[in-house]
């Protein structure tokens, strides 16, 4: 079965760090463009970051300079390192696959919840 499984969510205080993981099963995270998308409580979807199969990375302005994205090919896992967390980073974080640049996201994980509060 093809699936993506996120983990690493939890509670943090403003200024702290968290690292999210997205483990692929039946799908290679290094062969595709892998994205992080988040959804604040009761709000819409917000794209966060992408790592292209070739290694290029892009970020939303709201997280640029605070979040980094990388992957561990042998573990078939994508990561999102979130530093200098803010209350507005509170959301469910999803990882999702896109087959190529500009493609729709055809496989999604179930999400992991991040709550930032003092």
Partner 1 sequence: SYVLTQPPSVSVAPGQTATITCAGNDIGGKSVHWYQQKPGQAPALVVYDDSDRPSGIPERFSGSNSGNTATLTISRVEAGDEADYFCQVWDTNSGHPHYVFGTGTQVTVL
The site for partner 1 (CB under 8 A) is made up of 35, 37, 44-47, 50, 58-61, 94, 96, 101-106, 108-111
Is the dihedral angle over the CA atoms 17, 114, 40, 31 positive or is it negative? positive
74 or 102: whose CB is closer to partner 1? 102
| Min CB(58)–partner 1 separation in Å | 5
Residue closer to partner 1, measured from CB, 12 or 60: 60
Residue 27: CB minimum distance to partner 1, A: 15
As a whole number of angstroms, the distance between CA 70 and CA 47 comes to 16
Q: How far is the CB of 110 from partner 1 (least distance, A)?
A: 6
Contacts by 99-104, CB closer than 8 A, 24 or more apart = 99/32, 99/33, 100/33, 101/33, 101/52, 103/33
């Amino acid at each position: 079965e093809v699936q993506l499984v996120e983990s690493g969510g939890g509670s943090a205080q403003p200024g702290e760090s968290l690292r999210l993981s997205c483990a692929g099963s039946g799908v290679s995270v290094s062969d595709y463009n892998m994205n992080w998308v988040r959804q604040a409580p009761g709000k819409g979807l917000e794209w966060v970051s992408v790592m292209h199969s070739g290694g290029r990375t892009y970020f939303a302005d709201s997280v640029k300079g605070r979040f980094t994205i990388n992957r561990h090919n042998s573990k078939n896992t994508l990561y999102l390192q979130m530093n200098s967390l803010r209350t507005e980073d509170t959301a469910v974080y999803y990882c999702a696959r896109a087959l190529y640049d500009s493609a729709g996201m055809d496989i999604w994980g179930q999400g992991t919840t991040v709550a930032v509060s003092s």
